[in-house]
Amino acid sequence: RSHISAYVNNLIDNPVLLDVLQELYGDNFAFHQASGDYVVHTPRFQVIHSDFGRASPLCPTTAHEEMGPIHDWQHCPILSINACTQPVTRWNGAMRIVTWEQMKTYCPGRWTPSLAGEQTETASWLASKLFPLDAGDVIFRDIRVWHGGCPNLSGTTR
pTM of the shown model: 0.79
The Cα-based distances of 39 to 88, 116, 118, 121 in angstroms read 11, 21, 21, 26
Q: 41-45, 49-53, 93-97 — which is least confidently predicted?
A: 49-53
- Report the range out of 11-25, 69-83, 97-111 with the highest average pLDDT: 11-25
Are 157 and 37 contacting, i.e. CB atoms less than 8 angstroms apart? Answer: no
Q: Please list, in sequence order, all residues whose beta carbon lies within 8 angstroms of the beta carbon of residue 103, skipping any fewer than 6 positions away.
A: 57, 58, 145, 146
Q: Which amino acid is at 157?
A: T
Length of the chain: 158
Beta-strand pair 68-69/138-142: unpaired
> Where does residue 154 fall: left (phi above 0), alpha (psi -120 to 50 degrees), or beta otherwise?
alpha
Residues forming a β-bridge with 79: 142
Rounded Cα gap, residues 130 and 150, in angstroms: 10
Rounded Cα gap, residues 105 and 108, in angstroms: 8
Q: 71-75, 88-92, 112-116 — which is least confidently predicted?
A: 71-75
* In the predicted structure, residue 128 carries a pLDDT above the cut 50: yes
Are 50 and 145 contacting, i.e. CB atoms less than 8 angstroms apart? Answer: yes
Q: State pLDDT tens for residues 110-127.
A: 778 889 999 999 999 999
